[in-house]
Structure 1
């Protein structure tokens, strides 16, 4: 009886915690809006397709291109929190207590975001990750550090023949500055890590330099048709240390590393589409404490496509991104010769409240020191979600792995197979 009473009390505590969280968010009413909404006077639907992060509407892209300056200056602060409950088919002791189905606090973020002057603005995120670092005691330990950051200056020239937006961006993650949010810098789901790439090596454009570097670049957007950007990245140290994670794992790159982005866009009626290409060239020191060694050189080339249909009450978005990376190793062939990443996501939202998404991911590595050996991770993530309020989202995802670190239907040396990593995830996301 005591065991039953204990389990019942524990369940009631979790339910009470969740209900308290939901009640607090619901009590915010119309005054409880994130910084950008307060500034522009628009709701989430104006900037995000179907009101869902991270896909931007044409208006949302214009807001970002013009340096987050549309509207009036207001209090530039917002907060966000994510609670998750993960359950993996076969438990992994290395995952600590995050995979046993218990509803736990996952991440919390503080945002400094909005208009500074008529031509300058900022989007800066500081995030506490409850499971950032391994710990012998509880599986993981928390860490607070810089998340995605983007500081901008922008201006616009408009006449009878030309509409030209030009600007400068300083940011800390290649791709985070992109206005289509189609790059892995923004993820392919609302919950960090929800696509579970596992042990596969990913390209530099697929998060390899996030919160480790600082980039400064210039961009133009001509007649709402052609977008071009050139950015250079350096190690995020010295006065730019505040833009890095600061968890003792600083990546060090050599000199200034170029990034080039070109995109063609077109809008007709309720439809809009984009086709883009990206190139990133990075020279990284394999040992960040020894800058006298040869560097490993990564060349990433990406092509991406996005389509949107936006006509209330229906919203449809489809995004496809493929990245191919070649590696010239300065460490005697200990790295993969090439890495390929393919991600696709389709979403449908009805009345900005009810939605479903289907994501696909495939990351493969061609290993240099193992002949023709191929490793990688591949799978699908279907998701359904509900937004009873524009700043509250509840969702369920199920990630099905076809391959994990090169292993598919056959078991690996540890007796595991890809489907053993299938993950059921329930999340509660809220913002203020």
Structure 2
């Protein structure tokens, strides 16, 4: 039954509750039981990484009380931002079931390009940054061309790109091997010292809760207009209030030291923008569809080649952005930039955060959660004055566990008809 406006009348049965054979939970207890049912069926979401993060923080805090100090957490946020932006790009290619092994080299090359253009050639810093981002996008465009035109596996093309771009980085830096960026410049200050004013961090925390509430309220209204069940207003308000309280407390705690870094704010802003693009736009739905089943997406009218191209271009562009942020953090561009464990940490962060290696499942928040886990391990081991070899071994073990959990969850979803 519909009213004069064409909407489903509230007196009739809800369309998704009409089948009496299906159990429908209601109330707080029902929501909890529904959550447990989703977990048992393999729909884990961010639960494993959150539990893992709590365990990591508890262990390191018990071993060294400095770990959860405001000063150490501020440093942790600075360090998360650079590789976190790179991991955000890795999420894009993993979502379509591909991989980019050259993100570390692209980040190092972009930092070298900024150093050469800005310091050696005298370009304005803004133009140097824009040029580095454009070159990063072109590298991603080349990968997508090789994949779409010749069917070259992304593993092979990006592995070749890793070596070629690393060679370009070494060529740019020449015999000196490094370029020091000017201390006191806006870029270096942004990477090392700039933090939000207290009132900005508090306002952004409140704004985040408000945005979450408005997004949930909009979705609930649209479902109600379509005659579907929706979250109650009370549950939406409760979720927003809890989020605001948590974020305000974190902002207050950070402000007892230096405050929340602007660099981390930029990273979180990119995560939120990517989350919106992945969940609220046609491109995001196409990304999920291609990663889930390429042939089905093609038959549904999705331009599969364009989706692959956008994923590779975004990945390389964000890798270039991460390299620029890393150069700002270190105040230099060197031959070591982008090497070492940058590739490992960026890819591991995306996977540990919950992005599936099989494609079609993941979110922008995977990069945020995953890089916090990795940097927490690195920070904790550094405070304990333990060898970096342990960090590699522990990070590798956590990555292996994350992949095992993903595989088991995928099997469970298939058996429960949720894949």
- Greater RCO between the two (CA within 8 Å, min separation 6)? 2
TM-score by length of 1: 0.24
Structure ranking higher in strand proportion: 1
TM-score by length of 2: 0.24
